[in-house]
Amino acid sequence: MIKNIDLFEKAPVPKAVLKLAVPTVLSMIVTVLYNMVDAFFVGLINDPSQFAAVNVATPVFMFLMAAGNIFGMGGSSFLSRALGEKKMDKVKSISSFCFYAGIVTGIAGGMIITALMHQILTAVGTTETTYGFARDYLQIIAYGGPLIVIGMAFTNLLRGEGAANASMFGMMAGTAANIILDPIFILDELFGIKLLGMGVKGAAIATLIGNAVSIFFYIFHIASKNSLLSINPRFFKMGEGIASGVVSIGLPASLTNILMSLSAIVTNKLLASYYSVEVVEEPLRSLITTFSDSVPIFGDVPTAAMGVALKANMLVIFVQLGLGIGIAPLIGYNFGARNFKRLKSVMKFSILLNVVAGCALTALYFLFSKQIVNIFSKDEAVVNLGISIIHALMVSTPVIGIMFVLNFTFQAMGKAVQSLALAISRQGVVFLPLILALNRIFGMRGIVFAQPIADGIAVLIALAMFIPINRSFKKESMNRS
């Protein structure tokens, strides 16, 4: 931990940012791979209904991940500030609280999903061909609720104490297990070898085993002498501001995931209304792709195409998200230590890094969009529509990283109001009215362009909210000098 504290306090800003952000970005890429592996092997079944079912069920899965973020993002922010204040026993109490509260929350979440399965699947937009597959997938995920919540929580808690490499290796271990197990559980046969052929059920089982492997790695790290975290029940506390300190920041962070789930549910529900025969045009030779009247779309193709595009776009978003998450411990520590000069230097370098990454990834996705979509589907209708959707989603990529850096800065500083306001803007009060209005006016084209427009608005909101905080930094610095 002395090494980590030196990194927080003394290392040059570019070195400190890259030291924490690169493992975090790699972890986020691993998370994308985690999702892509399931999608890839389910896609090999060559059944659009099973692929669409996983896409429809994923937002419900994300509710459990959101619960994990209450303890992961809230706990990480809280303990990095406690480190900056040199309160080491408080760090142990925060991590112990997150572990046991996370187990209880995971059990409760799984029970709710099981009890309300029919109502949930009806609400998220399943069709008669996807309902059974989505139910099978979600039921297994519900049984593993505690594994999902704890896995998500401790991935972030390790980053909060500066152990970004350990967090990355834990995720990689889980992903490796998932990659090995996916074909065994999902496919009937591979290279002439008879396999279990469980389809979407197999994808869910492999995901849970992968989470369990990651958790085992995290516990091993916590038990070592290299960590200040603890899961010892004797450190468990809800009082002395522990529970409120975690939840006050964790809830806005979790709300982001919940609203992402709700947004995905609304999107799938709207796309399901195009279940009957619809038509869209092939991509125009322009930066902005539109939709009109030439390639027929049948059945689950719109939902499957959106699922393909979102999974492909996830790599771009998670790289930028990883840069934002990676700097959170640096921001939290230096905010706790009242070192505003270093804090703002970290922010500026991270924003520059994110904008450069966003521009580079946008160029790559426009150049290789067909090859990227073909990874997930060979169906001609799904591929054509998926390319169009990817082009639309990439419009906001060069700037969305600015919002991620500011969002995790608010969380790391314990700015609950700003964090909450930003959480409900991008995927909530901006996106939801926007997608409903644009669908009514422009049809499927409106659904596709709602997210990049909402992203641009969220960036402006984040910048506006940081201005008064920056003024308060200057005022406090002047008073101290």
**281 pLDDT higher than 50:** no
Instruction: Tell me what the mean pLDDT of segment 93-115 comes to.
Output: 93
Instruction: Give the pairing of strands 295-297 and 189-190.
Output: unpaired
CB 145 within 8 A of CB 114: no
Please report which confidence band the pLDDT of residue 205 belongs to, taking 50, 70 and 90 as the band edges: very high
Instruction: Tell me what the mean pLDDT of segment 116-144 comes to.
Output: 84
Alpha helices for 85-144 (secondary structure H):
88-115, 117-123, 131-143
Instruction: Tell me what the mean pLDDT of segment 97-117 comes to.
Output: 93
Contact residues for 349 (Cβ-Cβ < 8 A; gap 6+): 13, 14, 17
Phi, psi dihedral angles at 296 (to 5 degrees):
-70, 140
Which residues are registered as beta bridge partners of 296? 279
**183 pLDDT higher than 50:** yes
Per-residue pLDDT reduced to its tens digit, 297-318 = 444 677 777 877 877 787 788 8
In whole angstroms, what is the distance from residue 362 CA to residue 150 CA? 33
In whole angstroms, what is the distance from residue 332 CA to residue 326 CA? 11
Of 65-69, 187-191, 221-225, where does mean pLDDT reach its minimum? 187-191
Q: What is the pLDDT of residue 288?
A: 31
Tokens of 308: 């393909």
End-to-end Cα spacing for the chain? 30
Tokens of 454: 């909402």
- Calculate ∠ Cα 35-104-223, nearest 5°: 75
- Average pLDDT of the chain, as a whole number: 81
**SS3 state at 240:** coil
**28 pLDDT higher than 90:** no
**1 pLDDT higher than 60:** no
Longest C-alpha distance within the chain, in Å? 74
Per-residue pLDDT reduced to its tens digit, 322-362 = 888 888 888 888 887 788 888 889 999 999 999 999 999 99
Q: What is the pLDDT of residue 280?
A: 40
In whole angstroms, what is the distance from residue 42 CA to residue 342 CA? 47
**SS3 state at 235:** helix
Tokens of 434: 């926007």
- More reliable by pLDDT, 213 or 257: 213
In what helix (H) or strand (E) does residue 280 lie, and over which residues does it extend?
A: strand 278-280
**SS3 state at 295:** strand
Residue 271's closest CA among 387, 125, 376, 450? 125
In what helix (H) or strand (E) does residue 321 lie, and over which residues does it extend?
A: helix 301-336
In whole angstroms, what is the distance from residue 109 CA to residue 86 CA? 35
Please report which confidence band the pLDDT of residue 295 belongs to, taking 50, 70 and 90 as the band edges: very low
CB 382 within 8 A of CB 48: yes
**188 pLDDT higher than 80:** no
Per-residue pLDDT reduced to its tens digit, 57-101 = 777 777 888 888 889 888 888 888 888 777 888 889 999 999 999
**2 pLDDT higher than 50:** no
Q: What is the pLDDT of residue 296?
A: 40
CB 304 within 8 A of CB 379: yes
Per-residue pLDDT reduced to its tens digit, 396-449 = 888 998 998 998 888 888 787 887 788 778 777 888 899 889 888 887 788 888
HEC letters along 417-437: HHHHHHHHHHHHHCHHHHHHH
Determine if residue 284 is left, alpha or beta; phi over 0 gives left, psi from -120 to 50 gives alpha, anything else beta: beta
Residue 73's closest CA among 101, 42, 47, 98? 98
In whole angstroms, what is the distance from residue 432 CA to residue 122 CA? 19
Going 166 to 172 to 178 to 181, the CA torsion angle's sign is negative
Tokens of 67: 């619960």
**3 pLDDT higher than 60:** no
SS3 content of the chain, % helix, strand, coil (to 5): 80, 0, 15
**291 pLDDT higher than 50:** no
CB 36 within 8 A of CB 313: no
Q: What is the pLDDT of residue 285?
A: 31
Tokens of 88: 């080491």
**pTM (2 d.p.):** 0.69
Alpha helices for 368-443 (secondary structure H):
369-374, 380-393, 397-412, 416-424, 431-442
Please report which confidence band the pLDDT of residue 284 belongs to, taking 50, 70 and 90 as the band edges: very low
Residue type present at position 19? K
Residue keyed to tokens 């067909």: 370
Helix axes 397-412, 242-272, angle to 10 degrees: 150
Please report which confidence band the pLDDT of residue 219 belongs to, taking 50, 70 and 90 as the band edges: very high
In whole angstroms, what is the distance from residue 4 CA to residue 12 CA? 13
- More reliable by pLDDT, 240 or 93: 93
Instruction: Tell me what the mean pLDDT of segment 268-286 comes to.
Output: 51
**108 pLDDT higher than 90:** yes
